[in-house]
Structure 1
Amino acid sequence: MANSVANLIFIPTPGVGHIMSTIEIAKILVNRDQNLSITVLIIKPPSLNSSSAITSYIESLAKNIINRISFIELPQSEILPQTGDSKLSILFFKEFIKSHCKYVKNIVADLISGSGSGSGRVAGFVVDMFCTCMIDVANEFNVPTYVFFTSNATYLGFTLYIQTLHDVQKQDVIELSHSNTEIQVPGFVKPVPTKVFPAVTNTQDGLEFLLWDARRLRDVKAIMVNTYFELETHAFESLSADKTVPSVYPVGPILNLENSATDDDLITWLDSQPPSSVVFLCFGSMGSFDEVQVKEIARGLEQSGYCFVWSLRRPPSDQASTAKSPSDYEDPSVVLPEGFLERTAEQGKVIGWAPQVTLLGHQAVGGFMSHCGWNSLLESLWFGVPSATWPIYAEQQMNAFDMVVELGLAVEITLDYKQDLFSASADWNNTVIVTAEEIESGIRRLMEDNEIRTKVKEMSAKSRAAVTEGRFILHGYW
């Protein structure tokens, strides 16, 4: 029968981490259900925020042939930043995503009529946590919407709780987020300090975006979270106890574990190091620091005496702007302490963009200084490599608190360091400097705390067990 194949419409947010994990869960679904096909609708990033990493990744999708998964690029939105804007506002981002609804509607109508490139009946939408406006399009076609939540269950619980605080309890969330206090948040066992609240709760625009998204999350049929029950047991029990929340399913860890091309000299150097002896520093696709902070990191590394691999990225040329992604230095010595590269030639390697999975999977790597992006933390747990937390933006401060205080699976360098991608206050001059002494101390704890290392190894085994055949509980849901 022509209509026996169910076609799901996947819509990820235009960010590398979001798109990658979306494609990985799509692969899992089609591999487990032969009567399922998936059409991934790709939103091109706005020109001001176009990242070379995102652009090249989107271009590579067209060349990828994956059985029963097809990719369609949506037209470039006419909602674009104003010329001269140095920064994308979070409300612009919301309107930018919403502006693609009409394109999605047209493509899905073509698929249903048989004139599109997909096949089979449209069974539902699976949208990213920031693409919930697409619920309205799915409703027009009378099909259900599911959310793929690319962060963790504790942050999902936090998002929904903030909406309850605002809408039901009439709490002034902005005032709360600026206070120096702790509150009990469902999903967390321990009180959460307001200093680790994400930056979106600090401004009216940011809060408006979070509230809008939380309200829409309650409208979907189910929420799939990129995590696993053994890692966030309390968070899932809390969510399941809340009858106002749709069904929530742990479907992770969803990871892309393909090794990337790596400098042969770097691998040769790592091969020569003892097991678990090297610290790996990597701060994500958007993570970078100014020269003052770079020098403190360098001094902390050198003083620690531990071998290291440091992915050092150059901030966008306009430091007040988040319009562009970081890039690699042609000559990193221009921002490093004088003589640093020469003094540490045997101790470590300073590189540009890092093939993170390849390095975390190398037996010589024994510690990971991370920005605490959720994909990165899942990767470190998968490989059993303890993390030292250095959050930068989005929900990373809460991820850091979760890993260090709630779960005891990481050591703290900082929990509340912030460079807000949207706020006008994201100014290098306003950012607190983490000192070389704090960094050195964090590295020593990272490499020498055997209790945390043992716990991370145990969680690594649970991580791998979570993806064994039969654990994917959404099988047959559509």
Structure 2
Amino acid sequence: MKKAELVFFPLPGRGHFVSILEIAKLLVARDDRLCITVLIMRLSIDSKLAAYIESLNDSSYTECIQFIDLPQTSFKQETNAMVSVSSFIESQKPHVKEAVTKLKESRSGSNSPRLAGFVVDMFCSSMVDVANDFGVPTYLFFPSSASFLSLMLHLQTLRDEQKQDITEFKDSDAELVLSSFMKPIPARVLPGVVLHREGGTLILDYARRWRETKGIIVNTFLELESYAIHSFSDATNTPPVYPVGPILNLKGEDSHVGSGDQRPDIMKWLDDQPQSSVVFLCFGSRGGFGDNQVKEIAKALERGGFPFLWSLRRPPPKGGGFAFPTEHENLEEVLPEGFLDRTARIGKIIGWAPQVAILSHPAIGGFVSHCGWNSILESLWFGVPIATWPLYAEQQFNAFEMVKEMEVAAEIMLDYRTEYTDNQIIVTSEEIERGIKQLMENDSKIRKNVKEMTEKGKKALMDGGSSHFSLGRIIDDVITDSMP
């Protein structure tokens, strides 16, 4: 039979783009009846992602996955990042339609692949309109957790069907009861964007469009979020959910996105540390702290006495839209006086971190993290427990799930946030030290739970595993849809 072609439409953000590419690679490796065209939107804001994209054309899977650059469009960068994202995606619609039209024209031969559907990022759900124009289904790629998917659909229902103002949860002591959670969700861990009038309207509009898709591919696995995943089977007006994770790029991203000359030095330093002894602190591609908070972290590390590897960067400016953290030119200006000398034997401070390489190193014993979903999956894959310090997006919700629902993380904070707030609290060195000590306990329940989940995550991807089975279901659906 003819090959079935899927058009992938990823968001040009590192945490989204890399994992959706891993899905594409899994699909074509699993079934040679599939081929994939990836439409690439260019944003000049992230040089590391640009380097990663450039590397794709030299990769071994370009025979079955091709990349098409969309024309760059100008759009107004708003203070609210969600508004900017929405404006940017909408500006791409005519270019996507033109690219897919040309693609179909080039596939006019009798043995050419048949367009079978779109796979779009969670923030690109308005591309359902374009897929509908071509008469093909849309599958949604959801790079976060199944529980977060359930939360967003629940909030969208509250807004659209029960006419509830979601922004009223801001600074509220209310708790939400979700079918996907065993425990009530405190409003204080809701994502800041849904509590903000403009951004909240947009993201819940996206959620409404998610319901129009043929299926939702989620980067999680049944054994990690069984309660949440099973809850979808009873949900009305919700497409099928396919848990196919943990989807991770364990072989390439770090080498492509570069860490200057620091990487060999970092790995050599780790080689000299005892097994499972080092606390790794890293807060994602957009994570950074002000000077006062940095000093509290430093005090906690010095008092705690654990060997530490700390990715320390200057935070992006407030209201900076898509701005990223920058490196500190002079660490002594931001750290307590004499800190570098006093901790020289046990600690190492770096800028950008090759996170996968570090987490995979046997010296790492714990991870103080912002709780981005990709970082959570990476830490579970390598059996490294997390201490939670969320900053933005859905990270507060992720932290709550990890600590309270799954019991696979220690708590530093659950409701710390850097966006949509002017009341930035300072987490004290005592709170930080307490969380790190709990994180580094050798025989803790958390460490045992993480070890069990590591084994389950790897089994999920093997032949006969839950995620392997889910991926097969997607392929069957796509192939069936593509038949004349």
Do Structure 1 and Structure 2 share a fold, with TM-score over 0.5? yes
Which residue matches 2:309? 309
The CA distance in 2 between the partners of 1:477 and 1:378, in whole Å, is 27
Correspondences of 1:55-204 after superposition (within 5 Å): 55-66=50-61, 67-81=63-77, 87-114=79-106, 120-204=113-197
Is residue 455 from structure 1 mapped to residue 444 from structure 2 by the alignment? no
Paired amino acid for 2:35: S
Is residue 7 from structure 1 mapped to residue 5 from structure 2 by the alignment? yes
Whether contact under 8 Å (1:158, 1:186) holds in the other structure is no
Is residue 418 from structure 1 mapped to residue 414 from structure 2 by the alignment? no
Task: Evaluate the alpha carbon distance shift between residue 163 and residue 475 of structure 1 in structure 2; reply closer, same or farther with a 3 A threshold.
Answer: same
The CA distance in 2 between the partners of 1:65 and 1:98, in whole Å, is 32
Whether contact under 8 Å (1:11, 1:127) holds in the other structure is yes
Is residue 207 from structure 1 mapped to residue 200 from structure 2 by the alignment? yes
1:146, CA displacement in angstroms? 0.2
Which residue matches 1:358? 357
1:31, CA displacement in angstroms? 0.1
Paired amino acid for 2:326: S
SS, match of residue 258 in structure 1: coil
Paired amino acid for 1:234: Y
Paired amino acid for 2:154: Y
Greater Cα offset, 87-96 or 220-229: 87-96
The CA distance in 2 between the partners of 1:89 and 1:330, in whole Å, is 27
Which residue matches 1:44? 42
Which residue matches 1:265? 265
Deviations 1:207-261 (A, max 9, x none): 2112211110000000010000000001011111102100001010000011645
Task: Evaluate the alpha carbon distance shift between residue 327 and residue 61 of structure 1 in structure 2; reply closer, same or farther with a 3 A threshold.
Answer: farther
1:378, CA displacement in angstroms? 0.2
Whether contact under 8 Å (1:150, 1:226) holds in the other structure is yes
Which residue matches 2:292? 292
The CA distance in 2 between the partners of 1:198 and 1:78, in whole Å, is 29
Count of aligned residue pairs for this structure pair? 461
The CA distance in 2 between the partners of 1:60 and 1:352, in whole Å, is 23
Which residue matches 1:16? 14
Paired amino acid for 2:307: C
Deviations 1:328-364 (A, max 9, x none): 2233222111111111111111011111111111111
Whether contact under 8 Å (1:367, 1:387) holds in the other structure is yes
Question: Can you give the 5+ residue segments of structure 1 that lack an aligned partner in the other structure?
Answer: none
The CA distance in 2 between the partners of 1:93 and 1:364, in whole Å, is 39
Q: 2:237 aligns with which of 244, 251, 260?
A: 244
| CA RMSD, Structure 1 to Structure 2 (Å) | 1.8
Question: Can you give the 5+ residue segments of structure 2 that lack an aligned partner in the other structure?
Answer: 256-261, 479-484
Q: Which runs of at least 4 in structure 1 moved beyond 6 Å after TM superposition?
A: none
SS, match of residue 440 in structure 2: helix
Whether contact under 8 Å (1:111, 1:119) holds in the other structure is no
The CA distance in 1 between the partners of 2:244 and 2:331, in whole Å, is 40
Whether contact under 8 Å (2:81, 2:322) holds in the other structure is no
The CA distance in 1 between the partners of 2:103 and 2:198, in whole Å, is 36
1:39, CA displacement in angstroms? 0.7
Deviations 1:77-117 (A, max 9, x none): 23233xxx6x244223212111111111001001111179x
Paired amino acid for 1:264: P
Whether contact under 8 Å (1:270, 1:364) holds in the other structure is yes
Whether contact under 8 Å (1:161, 1:186) holds in the other structure is no
TM-score by length of 2: 0.92
The CA distance in 1 between the partners of 2:353 and 2:122, in whole Å, is 27
The CA distance in 2 between the partners of 1:39 and 1:284, in whole Å, is 29
Correspondences of 1:217-236 after superposition (within 5 Å): 217-236=210-229
TM-score by length of 1: 0.93
Which residue matches 2:482? none
The CA distance in 2 between the partners of 1:329 and 1:69, in whole Å, is 39
Task: Evaluate the alpha carbon distance shift between residue 360 and residue 119 of structure 1 in structure 2; reply closer, same or farther with a 3 A threshold.
Answer: farther
Is residue 387 from structure 1 mapped to residue 420 from structure 2 by the alignment? no
Identity among equivalent pairs (%): 52
Q: 2:27 aligns with which of 26, 29, 32?
A: 29
1:264, CA displacement in angstroms? 2.6
Deviations 1:354-376 (A, max 9, x none): 11111111111010000000000
The CA distance in 2 between the partners of 1:128 and 1:314, in whole Å, is 29
SS, match of residue 99 in structure 1: helix
